[in-house]
Structures are given as structure tokens and as C-alpha cells.
Structure 1
């Protein structure tokens, strides 16, 4: 029996999909990934369906709206926020229909506080990231909204063991001090790792298995571990050799690895064995027992699938599922 919510040789997706048919996309996800499905996101639908807007719809007492420069805090909820909430409500209705009777792990995704703070502007000023108090308020609002969202998903799919993924592609830039100001002419000061971990910890729910996804170079594994994440999700192609020691320490400590091994856009898919090879090679280089590989590593596309066609997205999920089964085989027999 696995110590993780999923069975061994599991595969899943990162989050986004092409198109606007949420019911068909849900059927695809549950059909191709029956062991670890997730609630897909469809940014092609427009305002409020993007990563920032979708998560903004969860915020409590912190309304935002779209301005020419992007999302910005406002005095009261408006049309943009209503659209975001309507998109999510339709998705949850579809989830309830497609997942009727489902039992097992189910992943949901929301934008993390640091990437959100680097994208949303204050009412009359710079990005929220420029104000430590605003970031604290944002994290608190997101934590409250995420808790309500998690409860809603559990009520709609009572047999699900919900896994929560925070998407933090902007976190390396936050820590490095490379996030541009609202004007674009400067850079916001770097955030110290302990502060970054504290805000992440405040958002990660304590009553669910949690994963933090970062599809950027230099994933801050020490920050994610300090925040208490149960798993890290990253692109195998962007993993640097100098980061492998810290990754090995995280795995040794029991953290799950969601490893992106299949292109997320229209690039040709690798053969099944080739898709599994990055995980096998990395695991062997880190010196872990082969028997733990299929249990502790989940295979995914390298990032979201919004840039692919519906057929390519389906094929990418199928290839991840097939490659995950290879991880269960003895290398000497394969």
C-alpha cells in the first residue's frame, strides 16, 4: 500500500487544456488518467478563465478587475470577477457530472500567492508584490477562499481524496528579485526564502495532500520543503545538475516528485520508453531503490497543455500514463 494518495505508476496533468468545452475536457482527463485525474483549466475561454483570473475568483474580500495593464485590486466586485466565478461554477458542475461515483485521488490547481502577487496590481500603485502587507493580506484571502473551494469539491465528489496543487512559476523570479515593477522600468526587491516559505505555508491547506508546481528553471526546493509541501512538480528538462542534491534530500525526506517528461505543446511526443527514461535516469543517479520509483514519482506533461490541440493534449496524457507503467518494471527486464 502506497503512503501517497495515489496508487503506484501514476500519471496526471499540470492543469490547463486547449479549447472551451469543459465537459469534453473532463471526460478526456478522467478517461486517460483514471488513477489520478484533475480539474482542468481552459484559459481559451477568455477573461476569468486564465490562471490569475481563475484564482482571483476564489479570493475573499479582495475584489479584482482587468485593467489595460492586467488584473488590479478594485473597490468592489465587477463583471470580470463574476465571469471568473461563473467559469469555475460551470467547471465544478461538470466535474460533479463526470466524476459521479468516482473514488480515489483528484487534483485541483490554483495559482500560488507569490505568482499571484507578482501579477496583480494594487489599486493605485505597483504590484502587490511590492508591499509586504498586501502580500500577507493576499495570502490570507487566498487561504480562506481555497478552503471553501476545497470543501465544495469534496461535497460534489464525496469519494475523492483531493490533492491541492499551487502553481508558482513566478517564485524563482520573486526570490531572485527579477520581477518587473508595474511600469516595467525597474525590478521589485527580492523576497527572502523564509518569508516566501511562510506565505506559502499559510496557503497550503493542512487537511489535504499538497503539491507546488514550478515550470521555471531554479525551482526553490528548500523553500517548498520549508513551506510543508508534500510534493514538488517540475519540468525534467529544466532540472539542473546542481539542484539534484537538494532534490535528493527532499525525496529522501518523503516528498513526492511530479516530473514533467512529455512536451506540453505541439512538439512530437517521445516514445513510451523514452518518456519514462528521465525519471529512471534521475532516480538511478540519486541512488534510490528502484522499487520506490513508481510509488514516489508521478509523471506529467512538462507544463500545461493550453498550447496544444485537443488531440495533442489527449495524446500527451495517454503517453504519460503509458510511461508511468514503465516505471513499475524492473530495468533489467525492460
Structure 2
């Protein structure tokens, strides 16, 4: 495409099927359903029947039987999950991220509401004696909006048309003067994503149990589960971008944190086939080969820095990324004028 006389060519690898994301969504869906059903049932001996389920202002003004309080949010969640599946199946290209946003926001909203209802009715003789609602509603709505926003950001897609692959052999690419080439790629490890989802769901379950008053658990246990969730999540996927500014490798669903190198900081780029055994395992690894971000075995984009260190990342279409990087590195070494 042309922009003020400057040709801009965009090269990108097709995103792989996110099996890990699908399994993580399934785990989240099943976990939220379990929480919605388990919360009132676990505390049933401490709840009135019926129990308050609606507040007019701050005071309770309507109730449901314990059975209805269990089944109604569970059924509503099932409808939301089916809606998310339909969005992904039939509107995935037109509304990217809609399914993830629906699941994230809906799950937080329903579990927050169920936890607040259980907490308000806990150890009350009648539903009319339920605790008033106030700041809880505001916090639940804020958490719902934040969850939806984060899910939307995490599901952003790189939209670009594939460009012709460079010729076989030494990765190299001709960059016409004035052209701005961009290469984008992505890789993920489904098992690491699933592990992060399991730890995250456990952290949410403990936090919900604590805030509802059903279980006497403290913040340390929540942190004990949340920290490995974040660590594994950051190491489960990677986004790689090559532009005129150099190489950017972003970690996790949000592409943050990220490592960056300008073309002047790089000596060369190449493609190597590596296995998890060679890298020392999955995730972010440092060994005799240098630093390797190993998410799946096979071709890796490897860059040699001017300091003599190697950084490798297992990513799709590594050959094209190496070719563009070598072209940018060669451009920086050309004499000015």
C-alpha cells in the first residue's frame, strides 16, 4: 500500500490454532460453573432458605429458594458459554476477541454476584435480615470491566497479508529504498497455557471462598496460587515483531514484558532447529546455547548480538523473520550518503 509516496510491505505468519487457549477457556468455563454451584451448597447449613438475591438500594427486597439460587446463575452461565462458542465459531473473524471477552467478563460478574449473595446471607435467620449491599456492587462491576478489557487486549490479532517467502539458503531479503517492512509472528505452548489456567482458576476459587466467608483462608494462599499463574502465563506464549526499529519479543498474552534490540545491536540472524531437551526445558531458558524461549520444538529465530550472545525464540515463519533482520542489519552498515 502507498502512504505519502512510501511503499509499506507487511509480512506476517499465520497464527497457529490456539489449542491451549481453547483448553484454558474450557477449564475456565467448567471452573466458573463449579464455583457457582458449590458456593451456596457448601454453605447451605449457614444460609436461610429462601435467601435474599435482590436488593432495592441497600436493603434486600426479593428472595429465591436455595435450589433456585444454585441453578439460576449456573443456567445463565451455560447460556453465556454457548454464546461465546457461537461467537467464536460464526463471528470469529468479524469480532475477534468477543468470545474471550464474554467468558472473562461474564465469569467474573456471576462469581462475584454469587459470592456477595452468599456473604450477605451467611448466618442469617431470614432472608430479610441479609446484610445490605453497597461497595460490593461497585467492586464487582469494576472487576467485570477490567476482566473484559484484559481479555480483549489479550486476544488481539495481527492482521496482515503474507508476503512471498525468501529464497532458500542463507536468509536474506531485498528491501527497496523507502520501503517499510514489518514481520509479525506468534507461538504458544498449549500445555503451559492450560497449566496457567488451572492455577488461575484455583486462585480465583480461593479468593471467592475467602470473600464470601465460606472458608477461612487468607491472602498468602491466594498469592501462593496467583504468582505461579502469572509466571507460567508469561512464559506460555510469545509475540515477535521485526520492523525498521529492530526486533521486539513480547511475552505472555499482552506482549509484556518485552525484550528489544535495534539493528545496530545485532550481528546477524539465522534459523536453527532446536528441541526442548537442547534448550533445557520449556519456557524461558538460559544455558550454553544462550537464551532460548522454547515453546515448541522445531525452527527457531536466533539472533547474535554485538556482545557475542545468542537469543533464540521458537516461532513460526522464523526464516522470513531472519531474512528481514539480516536486511535491516546490512542497511545499518551501509555508509551514509
TM-score by length of 2: 0.24
- Which structure shows the bigger proportion of residues in strand conformation? 2
| Rg comparison, structure with higher value | 2
Higher relative contact order (CA 8 A, sep 6+): 1
TM-score by length of 1: 0.24
